[in-house]
Amino acid sequence: MKNLLVTGGAGFIGANFIHYLLEETDFEGRVINVDKLTYAGVPESLADIEKAFPERYVFIKADIGDKDTLAHAFDKYEIDSICHFAAESHVDRSIVSPDEFIKTNIIGTYNLLELSRQIGGRMRLFHHVSTDEVFGSLGDDGYFTEETPYKPNSPYSASKASSDHLVRAYHKTYDLPVTVSNCSNNYGPFQFPEKLIPLMVLNAIEDKTLPVYGDGLNVRDWLYVGDHCSAIWTIMKKGRIGETYNIGGRNEMENIKVVEMICDYLDVIVGKRSNREPRRSLMTFVTDRPGHDRRYAIDSKKITDQLGWMPAESFETGLLKTIKWYLSNESWVNNVRSGEYLNWIKEHYG
């Protein structure tokens, strides 16, 4: 892989992956980052990469729904491999406005697959990054495996399920070299503050309400983003073409427990609230969202047994690293939460 196209590389997981790839692996090629720079695309997350690797990092502001612009990038940079992160990913937003999820997650993926097919043997690998939400909801027992039937319950998860099927179809029909990964809930540095963990961290610091959906007993398997990046690179280097690998953090946790841990850590790190009450007193239960899956849990035995990957972080160590990152990167937080930042992106990137 000499010229790796990373889609959505200014987003949360994509930015972490580019940092990991260029700073921590033996990858010697060039990274071409294509990102639409929606509200959750933050080029500032890669400012240090741009300075440190001027010959090996290229940024292109483009929508993967724009096939002509993608085709130009494929030709100009002689793309020979893809790691496809680009996706609309927030479940709540998909419930309110599903159209963008269909355009980006399905049509955008189709465009990438078609262009990859058209360049023939030059394409070494198309790795597609997906989610465990395509499997639907689990009961109190059991785990999602690579053989679990799909049963998406939100417009977001349905659009990701559709893109998964397209990727596999292009492998079977056109012999496109693909791998697929389905991951559990990610958390860590550079995550946009609409997601559970950064939202709760920042609200708790600022003495704001901590809204918890329903009874707070929905269960997720939490995966530290650095572990996710190492798993993806392991698959891209060692995975079998045409195979799917589940990536889990082996950290099942009820949402309410996650919020309580964040409160307790912050009470220790920055001290209790000005009124001396613990931050848990900020928690409040709100109406559950429609189609809220009760439990996700990943069986990642396949990637462990076949490729030797294991997560390095426990939930406790990963959460503590994440909280400290947000506390130490106030400028990044303020920028991404500011309407002025969106104006800055328009001025600098069109």
- Integer Rg of the chain from CA: 20
Buried b (16+ CB within 10 A) or exposed e, 272-303: ebeeeeebeebbeeeeeeebbbebbbbbbebb
Q: Tell me, yes or no, if 55 is annotated catalytic.
A: no
* Coil, helix or strand at residue 57: strand
Buried b (16+ CB within 10 A) or exposed e, 19-44: bbbbeeeebeebbbbbbbbbebbbbb
Which member of 132, 164, 299, 313 is catalytic? 132
Which member of 143, 156, 170, 224 is catalytic? 156
State how far the Cα of 260 lies from the Cα of 316, in Å rounded to an integer.
12
* Coil, helix or strand at residue 27: coil
Q: Tell me, yes or no, if 156 is annotated catalytic.
A: yes
Give the helix/strand (H/E) hosting 39.
Answer: none
* Coil, helix or strand at residue 152: coil
Angle (CA) 233 50 58, round 5°? 70
Q: How far is CA 277 from CA 206, 263, 264, in A?
A: 14, 11, 11
- Number of neighbouring beta carbons within 10 Å of residue 97: 11
Which member of 35, 133, 164, 313 is catalytic? 133
Q: Which residues are catalytic?
A: 132-133, 156
